[in-house]
Amino acid sequence: MTLAALFLLLASSALETSSGDEVRFGIEVARKGLWQEARFRFEKAAHLAPDNASALNNLAVALEQQGEFDKAREAYEKALKLKPNHIYIQQNYDLFREADDKRNRKAKKKP
């Protein structure tokens, strides 16, 4: 292996991030209202650690902000399946369901 190839391998591994790093960065950009970037980070976090309920919960919030309600529901339900007694995930899901039910009732009333 050449020195250049070794450097590339070392550089690429240094660029790898953990699921937690992605969640933290996603939260940072979400606070700035950058929902597409936040969604990307939370999706990456969930991909890196499929059992990361926090990543799935945050992904659900980002999806909800982008109007992707079916995908948001799916992400919330996965998060709750992983951590059924997590109070914040449950609260987020309850608020989502309430708003989603209201949206669906309004949609049915339209001619």
Domain spans of the chain, in order of start: 17-109
What homologous superfamily does CATH list for 17-109? Tetratricopeptide repeat domain (1.25.40.10)
Residue 72: per-residue pLDDT: 97
Residue labelled with tokens 């992904």: 59
The pair of three-digit structure tokens given for residue 78, joined into one six-digit string = 């996965």
Give mean pLDDT in consecutive 10-residue pieces for the chain, a chain of 111 residues: 44 60 94 96 96 96 96 97 95 94 84 65
Q: Are 53 and 86 in contact (CB under 8 A)?
A: yes
Residue 12: per-residue pLDDT: 37
